[in-house]
Structure 1
Amino acid sequence: GSIEKSLLLSIAEWLNEQGFLHLSAISATDWPEKNRLEVTYHLWSYEQKILITLKSMIPRDQAMIDSVVPIWGANAQVHERELHELFGITFEGNDDLSALFVNDWEGPPAFRKDFDWRAFVREQDYDETNAREKEYYE
């Protein structure tokens, strides 16, 4: 199951108070057939030796969720920047969602399932004089 995005911050704060001090990752899964993105938080309590995951579904066309930077700081910052760049998720309250990997990217988020990477590569880099590329793309 997943939690309502409106509950994310209060649950995250509570988990932090319970000893889940390490945010090891934030990941996302694109579910275009459901018009949803699933945002997953991976949290560790080293004292209790427990890993938990916290999930929330958000609409693809309004991909916004609260930032957990106020709770887990710089560690959350980098994960949120990555997901903003690759999935187009806006983390409300995060004032630095600048590009992490590709500074001049234009176009749809590259990790969404409807992104056609073959068409993108062909458009950007295809060399019709290269026999190997010609065979691959045609």
Structure 2
Amino acid sequence: MPLQYIGIDPSTGGGGSPTVLVDRENFDFVLQGWKVDESSGIPSRETVIRIPARMVPLIREACNFAERGSTGLQSTGGGSPTVLVDRENFDLILRGWRVDEKTEAEVAAIEVPGHISGIPSHETVIRIPARMVPLIREACNVAERGSAGLQ
């Protein structure tokens, strides 16, 4: 499956960084982000990640890419993809499906100057269906408004 690289968090240094990609076949979001405690009974096929609010422009770019390509497509997978905003620091909290080994390998192989390749142990990769774009845009709006007040 070909992934469209959208961008990487430039503010996290040379270590692993949250990364935004879009699947070119079904236009689902493929996101690498910081792991969140999963002790709340989340199904084993799903996981939760945190994306910093400063990455909202990259998330918006991924929304635009997905909307241009996903007209008429229905994402599959069931489950409960969820988009939340942390009201304390306005990071995005995303719950999505764990990716398969092939997708994880493709994400791990992406090389970005100044950043290590691979997926660090404190990060993971999830898939969120393209049908979630409106909710992701709404979360971006909340994050932008809230984080503007923190600066």
TM-score where L is the length of structure 2? 0.27
Highest CA radius of gyration, 1 or 2? Answer: 1
TM-score where L is the length of structure 1? 0.28
